[in-house]
Structure 1
Amino acid sequence: MDFKISGYQLFAMTFIFQLGTTIIYGFGGLAGHDAWIGSLSALLPGLCIISVFTALRRMNPGLTLIEWFPAQLGRWIGTPIAFLYPILYLYLTGRIIADIRDMVSTTILPGTPLIVITGVFAFIVAYCCYGGIELVARMGELILPVVVLMFLTETVLLVGSGVLHLHHVQPVLDKGWEPIWKVVYPGGITQTYGETITLAMFWPDVKNQGKITRITMFATLLSGLIITSFDFLAVLVYGDLYSRFLYPLYTLLSVISVGNFIENLQMFGVLYFFATALLKSVLNMLTALQGIQQLTKAKDYRIMIIPATIVVLVLGLTMSGNIAEHVYLHHIKFLVPYIWMPMVIVLPIVLLLVTWIRTALRKP
């Protein structure tokens, strides 16, 4: 591969990928008006989890996420485990398509057929996959300033609208640490931070290998603080009502009103969601396609784009019947404990232990 990812591009992709759909759906709602404490508390274990991923990278130089398992566990054990990841990422791409389906159809285009909404998004994802990681890296460069500018603008406009009330965050920790722990584990450490293992598929393509850990950690720290800040702003506006909103960022933009002139900014929330969801979807899809290519020794992953796009489109249309089922049943009750926890937390930790043991045994 001739193209090499720059440090700034890696930072942009990591930062935007971690924000992904997290902000638009909210984070830490289980903790009520202490949601921002839950978000902040998830940051430290999140950094620890990502340090596991970066340690695996250092101990498996030049190998991708998919290649780690056969390299350390052998062909007969490692290859079947590695095959689980492309399947997971196809499923996750389908989930994001379902996210787009639900949000767009319930906010800005309520009368539009779902096949049109999901079909257009899936087509854009497929088109970006043909461009490969180079296109995604350049897209991240463009989206990053927009996301940061939006955050700063929203903060200024909320302050100018006079809707922030400090008493909404009080009393702090009135229900103790139990709700905070429910935010942190297992959803908090998997949704934003555990998913970052996706980027390991592209770490071998980074120009300066020595800076990957620092860049990834810094991007994680910044994204965690941005998520905490969004939660804090939402709690300042809504208090305990924050946990009742399905799309708190979209709702938060609706309360902005400066001089009865700057208002009705919800469209910016949808555009933000679309941009970050698109980058995350393309990275997930590329991880699945390149993973299958590496495991099957195929010459080019692009021949699989159309079949994979059809699969994720069908998944996005059929995996859930409504928003409640999609978010609360499939995500919280099924995806997080039974898929994300073993695949983005347990398996990488086990693999790291095996790698350490094998490295120690090889030393004279």
Structure 2
Amino acid sequence: MKESITRYQFISLIILFEFGSSIIVGLGFEAKQNAWLFILLSMAGGLILYGLFTRFVSFYPDTPFPQVIQILAGPVIGYILVWGYILYFLYISARVLRDFTILISQTILHETPLFAVSLLFMIVVGFACYLGIEVIARSGELFLPYVLLMGGLFLMFVFIMDLPKIERLEPFFNIGVKELLSLVFPRGVSFPFGELIVFAVIFPHLEHPLNSFRYGVIGILISGIILLIISVTILMVLGPTIAMNSTVPLLDTISLVNIQGIIQRMDPIVIIIMVVTGFFKITIFFYGGVTMLQYLFKLPRRKSKGLIGFIGLLVMTVSMLISENIAEHLKEGLEIVPLYVHVPMQMIVPSLLLLLLFIRKRKIQKK
């Protein structure tokens, strides 16, 4: 029986996914005072990319993503591309897992080894994937209001203390167009907006797959605007230099809150938000990779315990070995991965598949 999710659940997943590791590393701080413009341009590019991803749905609305790849690229090249996306989804899952294990070990579990934190995370992620997309989507629907509420509390406390200073955003437009566009592409477009390519695996489970573009645009706009508000608030509190050099700028911002000595040490609010959004981002990428493996091996979900367990251990191992320290990890994630990993899998391959789709369509029309 086909698993089905509602439009609200789908939008909830997109919002939580987009927050993901963007909450940890921040968004647009490399553009300094122009972070707001960086986010707007990146979001516009992300909407174009998302339109590209959903184009396939209009022709194959109920067809699994790996099958669409094989239909368009042929059995041999399609098989290779399917494996490429499996490795891509699992690799990014491992990277995001490393983001959050470092965060947790540095904030609340100081003496706990990274291995133990990773294992606990992957047990929950693996169990969620075994239960299926319906359970993941219902969880997203349940958690989203609490995440938005806690995010609202963060903003409220920061503004009550009058921490944001508008002058920290001055001077406006102090960056060249060429420099700004070099930041937007590929880094801004690919992270986090271009990563929605993984939702191609989820499109067939929508109640109305043909509406996936409309629902996705709503999710992207909501998450993008919230990320814009949070990033600008952080800049107005910390200033561009501190925000850009901070490991977790959101955490540094909330730590400054101290209202009459009563409301202080609000770090748990941010940590809870980060853990929840991180769980959904890791889970969706992991689900994407596992689902495509199940398709290749023709394994039903209920008989995939061993596969999920093995892949979970593999992802956990990769996350541990991916970099030696957080500085190296962030440098790889912000400088190397966008150009050499995201661009091919988010832009080049989907564009070639779309070209093949149009060629196929024209041949059918001529017949």
Q: Indicate the TM-score class for this superposition, using the shorter chain for normalisation.
A: over 0.9
Match of 2:72 in 1: 72
Tell me the amino acid that sits aligned with residue 337 of structure 2: L
Tell me the amino acid that sits aligned with residue 292 of structure 1: L
Per the alignment, in what secondary structure is the counterpart of residue 246 of structure 1?
A: coil
Per the alignment, in what secondary structure is the counterpart of residue 231 of structure 1?
A: helix
Tell me the amino acid that sits aligned with residue 252 of structure 1: T
Deviation at 1:102, TM superposition (A): 1.2
Tell me the amino acid that sits aligned with residue 318 of structure 1: L
Contact 1:37 1:228 in 2 (8 A): no
Match of 1:346 in 2: 348
Contact 1:129 1:286 in 2 (8 A): yes
Match of 2:250 in 1: 249
For residues 244-296 of structure 1, give each alpha carbon's deviation from its aligned partner in whole angstroms, at most 9, with x where no partner exists.
11211111111122232111111211111110111111111111111011122
Match of 1:97 in 2: 97
The aligned runs of 1:228-267 (5 Å cut-off) are 228-240=228-240, 241-267=242-268
Match of 1:135 in 2: 135
Looking at structure 1, the residues matched to 244 and 222 of structure 2 have their Cα atoms a distance apart, in angstroms, of: 23
Calculate the TM-score normalised by the size of structure 2: 0.95
Tell me the amino acid that sits aligned with residue 194 of structure 1: G
Tell me the amino acid that sits aligned with residue 351 of structure 1: L
Looking at structure 1, the residues matched to 79 and 133 of structure 2 have their Cα atoms a distance apart, in angstroms, of: 24
Contact 1:35 1:180 in 2 (8 A): no
Tell me the amino acid that sits aligned with residue 113 of structure 1: P
For residues 31-78 of structure 1, give each alpha carbon's deviation from its aligned partner in whole angstroms, at most 9, with x where no partner exists.
112222211221111111100011121122212222221011110111
Looking at structure 1, the residues matched to 329 and 68 of structure 2 have their Cα atoms a distance apart, in angstroms, of: 32
Calculate the TM-score normalised by the size of structure 1: 0.96
Match of 1:6 in 2: 6
Match of 2:276 in 1: 275
Match of 2:325 in 1: 322
Looking at structure 2, the residues matched to 41 and 256 of structure 1 have their Cα atoms a distance apart, in angstroms, of: 31
Gaps of 5+ in 2: none
Tell me the amino acid that sits aligned with residue 219 of structure 2: A
Deviation at 1:332, TM superposition (A): 2.5
Contact 1:86 1:288 in 2 (8 A): yes
Match of 1:337 among 339, 364, 367: 339
The aligned runs of 1:26-175 (5 Å cut-off) are 26-175=26-175
Contact 1:319 1:326 in 2 (8 A): yes
Gaps of 5+ in 1: none
Aligned length in residues: 363
The aligned runs of 1:12-27 (5 Å cut-off) are 12-27=12-27
Deviation at 1:2, TM superposition (A): 4.2
Looking at structure 2, the residues matched to 340 and 108 of structure 1 have their Cα atoms a distance apart, in angstroms, of: 32
Tell me the amino acid that sits aligned with residue 83 of structure 2: F
Match of 1:177 in 2: 177
Looking at structure 2, the residues matched to 275 and 50 of structure 1 have their Cα atoms a distance apart, in angstroms, of: 24
Deviation at 1:180, TM superposition (A): 2.4
Looking at structure 1, the residues matched to 270 and 142 of structure 2 have their Cα atoms a distance apart, in angstroms, of: 17
For residues 74-101 of structure 1, give each alpha carbon's deviation from its aligned partner in whole angstroms, at most 9, with x where no partner exists.
1011111111111111212211221122
Q: Which moved more, 1:256-265 or 1:245-254?
A: 256-265
Tell me the amino acid that sits aligned with residue 226 of structure 1: I
The share of aligned pairs that are identical, in percent, is 26
Contact 2:13 2:137 in 1 (8 A): yes
